[in-house]
């Protein structure tokens, strides 16, 4: 999915749907952090740099989600998508972020119309024993 399509899609969401979408991306990023610590267990510098980048992205997403809840302007959709998509300084995260967007979109399905999205967590994504 390209940046303009993601931005356009986010623009169709209600505030509640956007918050759920942003939280979905944040959830995916927690999984990315796990893989960073696994994949770079012997490379502290790379692990720290990538974890910091993901933390900064989560900060932006949290701010945007809170802004949507409180009806306050924060980061625009195009700024968020650009921040998540532009990984020129972090090539090891490029594919991961692409897959995170694809996973997020696959977890949203249309209900009544094209704008009524319902988030469905991936199988096994719930709490242990659920």
Per-residue model confidence as pLDDT tens digits over 45-66: 988 988 898 899 899 999 999 9
70 part of a folded domain: yes
**In whole angstroms, what is the distance from residue 102 CA to residue 98 CA?**
6
Span 65-78, average pLDDT: 93
pLDDT band at 1 (very low <50, low <70, confident <90, very high): low
111 part of a folded domain: yes
**In whole angstroms, what is the distance from residue 121 CA to residue 91 CA?**
27
Residue 85 has a pLDDT of 78
User: Per the structure, how many domains does the chain have?
Assistant: 1
| DSSP SS3 for 105 | helix
Domain range enclosing 27 = 3-118
Residue 123 has a pLDDT of 42
Residue 71 has a pLDDT of 93
Q: Which two tokens stand for residue 53?
A: 């980048």
What's the whole-number average pLDDT of the chain? Answer: 75
25 and 98 in contact (C-beta within 8 Å)?
no
Spatial neighbors of 63 by CB under 8 A, at least 6 apart, are 74, 75
CB atoms within 10 A of CB 81: 22
- Mean pLDDT comparison of 5-19, 62-76, 104-118, highest-scoring range: 62-76
Q: 75-117: per-residue pLDDT in tens?
A: 999 998 888 877 656 766 765 666 566 666 665 654 333 343 3
83 and 64 in contact (C-beta within 8 Å)?
no
DSSP state of 120: -
61 and 25 in contact (C-beta within 8 Å)?
yes
129 part of a folded domain: no
45 part of a folded domain: yes
């Amino acid at each position: 999915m390209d940046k303009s399509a993601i931005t356009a899609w986010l623009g169709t969401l209600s505030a509640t749907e956007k918050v759920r979408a942003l939280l979905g991306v944040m959830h995916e990023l927690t999984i990315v952090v796990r893989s960073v610590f696994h994949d770079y267990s012997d490379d502290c510098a790379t692990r720290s740099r990538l974890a910091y980048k993901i933390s900064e992205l989560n900060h932006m997403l949290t701010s945007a989600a809170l802004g949507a809840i409180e009806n306050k302007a924060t980061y625009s959709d195009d700024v968020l998508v650009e921040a998540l998509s532009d990984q020129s300084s972090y090539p090891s995260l490029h594919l991961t972020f692409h897959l995170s967007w694809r996973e997020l979109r696959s977890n949203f399905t249309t209900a009544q119309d094209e704008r009524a999205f319902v988030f469905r967590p991936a199988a096994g994504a719930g709490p242990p024993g659920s």
